[in-house]
């Protein structure tokens, strides 16, 4: 029986692979090998980089369903590769680093008057520190990426079976992949902003003052360290030790992720309440854990709103044109 199943799998796999074009068979392998050669040249090869390449090969060479997964998550994989690579040239390309400006903008827009002294929300919120809030905000902040991918995968792999109130199964299946390319674009816009307007996060201002920027300053988990101490683990510390850019506070991509999924939740009319609650949780956590000012949070949300809306607009124009073509041809 097992041999029969193996033969069926091999026959199915052979049929799938034989139907691939020559370019489709060669391009993923060529790109992965090129990536490995590049990271070896710039002395960046490590376990993570090798693993990403192997993951791409597995997804694009082990069958139709794994290819479907690979095509859907490819934009996110590219985001990870570019994020990892940009640490090698960020210092040479970025503009003058703003340390004091974001702090002053935050005070001017959202300052809180306490005993005739204006405080930023980050400074004021220190009065609320508690183990319970440390734990809750830590969970929100750690899961921003996993939550985005889980909700996007739910829409594509599960919700497309039944559709939503506004889109049937086929319509949803054709539209959901834009979420991942919108995410890719939001990240690229964020990285570009980090070059054009590099800004220090509030934890940096607390530790190093108003400037000039200390380029040797290591990344910090800030309020996340309280979460680590609570659990006796180095989760935040380990994650932020891999941070590629200390001066990349504006926009907050942590908040851009849940903001983008909220845009699509309203578009598809599914998971709207969950997405909004999650966005508000991450936004509060970003400020509470001293990783971002409110202006960073708003900037991240605006990036997602604009880019998500633009993708929806372009996609709908595409499908409208397709309907007209189908009507006449």
pLDDT at res. 325 = 45
Mean pLDDT of 140-162: 91
The confidence score (pLDDT) of residue 110 equals 96
SS3 45: coil
- CA distance linking residue 102 with residue 96, whole number of Å: 13
**DSSP calls for 164-200:** -SS--HHHHHHHTTHHHHHHHHHHHHHHHHHHHS-B-
Q: What are the tens digits of pLDDT across the range 23-82? A: 989 999 999 999 999 888 887 778 888 999 999 999 999 998 899 999 999 999 999 998
Query: CB of 285 within 8 A of CB of 140?
Result: yes
Place of tokens 């989760």: 235
Q: Does residue 289 contact residue 222 with C-beta atoms inside 8 Å?
A: yes
pLDDT in tens, 296-320: 999 999 999 999 999 999 988 876 6
Query: Average pLDDT of the chain?
Result: 89
The SS3 assignment for 216 reads coil
pLDDT on residue 323 = 52
Q: Write the pLDDT tens digit of every residue in 92-108.
A: 667 789 999 999 999 99
Q: What angle do CA 281, 186, 220 make, to 5 degrees?
A: 55
Q: For residues 162 and 112, give the distance between their C-alpha atoms in angstroms, rounded to a whole number.
A: 48
Structure tokens at 35: 């990536």
Give residue for tokens 């139907």. 19
The pLDDT value recorded for residue 327 is: 37
DSSP string, 108-165: HHH-EEETTEEE-HHHHGGGG--HHHHHHHHHHHHTHHHHHHHHHHIIIIIGGGT--S
Residues sharing a CB contact under 8 Å with residue 247, sequence separation 6 or more, in sequence order:
94, 97, 194, 198, 199, 200, 204, 213
Cis check for the bond before 285: say yes or no (omega within 30 of 0): no
pLDDT in the model for residue 198: 93
Kindly compute the dihedral angle of the four CA atoms of residues 298, 304, 307, 313, in this order, to the nearest 10 degrees: -110
Torsion of CA 266, 270, 271, 277, to 10 degrees: 20
Residues 6+ apart with CB under 8 A from 289: 137, 138, 141, 222, 223, 224, 227
- For 166, other C-beta atoms within 10 Å of its C-beta total 11
Nearest to 258 by CA among 290, 282, 225: 282
Express each pLDDT in 117-133 by its tens digit: 999 999 999 989 999 99
Confidence of residue 289 (pLDDT cuts 50, 70, 90): very high
Calculate the alpha carbon distances from 309 to 254, 266, 304, 316 in Å.
19, 11, 8, 11
Query: How far is residue 153's CA from residue 7's CA, in Å, rounded to a whole number?
Result: 31
Domains in the chain: boundaries:
1-93, 95-328
Region 4-15: what's the mean pLDDT? 80
Instruction: Name the percent of the chain lying above pLDDT 90.
Output: 64
The angle formed by the CA atoms of residues 185, 49 and 307, to the nearest 5 degrees, is 5
Tokens (6 digits) for 310: 């633009």
10, two tokens: 């091999």
């Amino acid at each position: 029986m097992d041999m029969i199943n193996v033969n069926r799998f091999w026959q199915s796999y052979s049929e799938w692979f034989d139907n691939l074009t020559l370019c489709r068979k060669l391009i993923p392998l060529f790109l992965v090998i090129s990536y490995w050669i590049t990271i070896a040249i710039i002395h960046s090869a490590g376990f993570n980089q090798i693993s990403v390449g192997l993951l791409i090969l597995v997804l694009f060479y082990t069958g139709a369903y794994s290819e479907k997964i690979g095509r859907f998550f490819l934009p996110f994989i590219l985001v990870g590769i570019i994020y990892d690579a940009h640490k090698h040239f960020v210092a040479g390309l970025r503009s003058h680093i703003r340390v004091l400006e974001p702090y002053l903008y935050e005070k001017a827009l959202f300052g809180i008057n306490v005993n005739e002294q204006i405080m930023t929300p980050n400074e004021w919120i220190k009065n609320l520190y508690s183990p319970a809030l440390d734990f809750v905000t830590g969970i929100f902040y750690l899961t921003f990426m996993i939550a985005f991918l889980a909700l996007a995968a739910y829409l594509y792999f599960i919700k497309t079976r039944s559709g939503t109130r506004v889109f049937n199964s086929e319509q949803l299946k054709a539209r959901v992949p834009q979420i991942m390319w919108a995410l890719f674009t939001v990240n690229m816009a964020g990285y570009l902003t980090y070059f054009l307007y590099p800004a220090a996060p509030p934890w940096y201002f607390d530790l190093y003052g108003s400037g000039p920027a200390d380029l040797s300053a290591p990344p910090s988990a800030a309020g996340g360290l309280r979460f680590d101490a609570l659990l006796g683990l180095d989760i935040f510390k380990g994650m932020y030790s891999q941070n590629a850019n200390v001066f990349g506070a504006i926009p907050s991509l942590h908040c851009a992720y849940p903001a983008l999924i909220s845009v699509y939740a309203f578009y598809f009319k599914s998971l709207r309440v969950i997405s909004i609650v999650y966005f508000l949780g991450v936004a509060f956590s970003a400020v509470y854990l001293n990783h971002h000012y409110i202006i960073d949070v708003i900037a991240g949300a605006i990036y997602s709103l604009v880019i998500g809306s633009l993708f929806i607009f372009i996609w709908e124009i595409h499908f409208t044109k397709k309907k007209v073509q189908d009507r006449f041809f």
